[in-house]
Structure 1
């Protein structure tokens, strides 16, 4: 992992991620998960799981338990049916984000709804304290509002502008020091991000992921090309690729679409 003494950018290539084809499920694991283990990629700060899943129609993850994790799903395409032991039943579509704070324990299922496969990202983070009451939230963000803008889709419950309502506007409230931003960058567009100055003198973690909208492949990443730059450094990544970024508070990072097609990008800012 990079040091925190300067801005550092370290790529995480798609074909180096853990991956599996179970027939009903095609999945990539950015961090250690299930039978995939890599001590060099075993989470990043409070971020523990970043899976890119494609699930065939009529199948999915059957009812299973979770506890002491913040679990959110970002739907890219298709429809995802969620059911849980708190009584929530919901069909999530493109642009929807669902957050379950598992706390002391829940059971849920996530299955494809309808005749088309569902493509979604499954993301877990560690809560800042144990024993929380289980809660559930959904939010919706349109392609229009994400186009060439950083849209805050998940933020710490204590952050400004965060509502603890089950549904509504603004980011979903997470019980972790993790903020998730999303954008759809058109070709030639660049967005800056300046790391917050809280905790001056301490390092700041971030992770950038380019969603693999062009399809599933086990070889080198294809499709959209994104350049991450800052502090005199730059790295290019493609669909399915990601990059670890670490820098001091107050430093600026730029994310630019240098390819020919749109790029859907997630950016995790981790305290």
Structure 2
């Protein structure tokens, strides 16, 4: 089963300094039929203007992954971590029993990132932070596994049975992604334009995939993120 989600139907917010597209209910956007997809609770596609950002605020019992698409993201938290990440780089924070953090764009260019929240497999973990500076070329015409569960092979491991993959597919190239029995996946067309199993996707569109193999053909050079998990995981 596949289901395309047009970005025009997603939640929207514009606070001036922050322009967001919400894949799931968040902040002022509430849709009781669109709270989560399995253990995936949040995907926010955020644009943050220069020298603005999220001031220090708390989180608890959530696995948070940030994927930088353009610009620079500067993170600071109550565990003493401070880091600036650029395009294609990833940070992870397990909020666990509680943590405070801030996320800012300290550069002179607009920052675009995907903010991803995933329910942990249990509550009460010790808070943790990590990041990874992936080489961009590793995702060119190749699925790069950037995040996995604790028993997986990705450099970043989270407290949930989830895999996150990214791909840059060159114009006219084709690539498949198999979602096995008992599994499901959520795909984000971050950039570009493509046909996926006879569905046409533009930038910021998405797709739910359950127990099915998809075939992607890039109409122009395109950029994808896929979150794969057990089917209907909560």
Please tell me the TM-score bracket, short chain as reference: over 0.9
Q: Does 1:84 align with 2:43?
A: no
* Residue in 1 that maps onto 2:158: 174
1:253: Cα distance to partner? 2.2
Residue 225 of structure 1, aligned match among 193, 197, 203: 193
User: Conserved in 2, the CA contact under 8 Å of 1:9 and 1:235?
Assistant: no
* Residue in 2 that maps onto 1:152: 145
User: Conserved in 2, the CA contact under 8 Å of 1:192 and 1:253?
Assistant: yes
* Residue in 2 that maps onto 1:56: 49
1:189: Cα distance to partner? 1.3
1:171: Cα distance to partner? 3.0
TM-score with structure 1 length normalisation?
A: 0.82
* Count of residues in Structure 1 that have an aligned counterpart in Structure 2: 230
* Residue in 1 that maps onto 2:213: 252
CA distance in 2, matches of 1:178, 1:39: 24
Matches within 5 A, 1:86-105: 86-105=79-98
1:142: Cα distance to partner? 2.4
* Residue in 2 that maps onto 1:10: 3
Q: Does 1:205 align with 2:198?
A: no
TM-score with structure 2 length normalisation?
A: 0.94
Structure 2 runs not aligned, ≥5 long: none
1:110: Cα distance to partner? 0.2
* Residue in 2 that maps onto 1:106: 99
* Residue in 2 that maps onto 1:5: none
What is the RMSD of the two structures over their aligned residues, measured on CA atoms?
Answer: 1.3
Moved over 4 A (4+): none
Q: Kindly indicate which of the two structures has a greater share of residues assigned to strand.
A: 2
* Residue in 2 that maps onto 1:32: 25
CA distance in 1, matches of 2:49, 2:179: 39
1:208: Cα distance to partner? 0.8
Higher relative contact order (CA 8 A, sep 6+): 1
1:114: Cα distance to partner? 1.5
CA offsets 1:19-73 (integer angstroms, 9 cap, x no match): 1111000100000001101122211000000000010111100000000000010
CA distance in 1, matches of 2:82, 2:179: 37
**Higher Cα radius of gyration:** 1
CA distance in 2, matches of 1:103, 1:136: 11
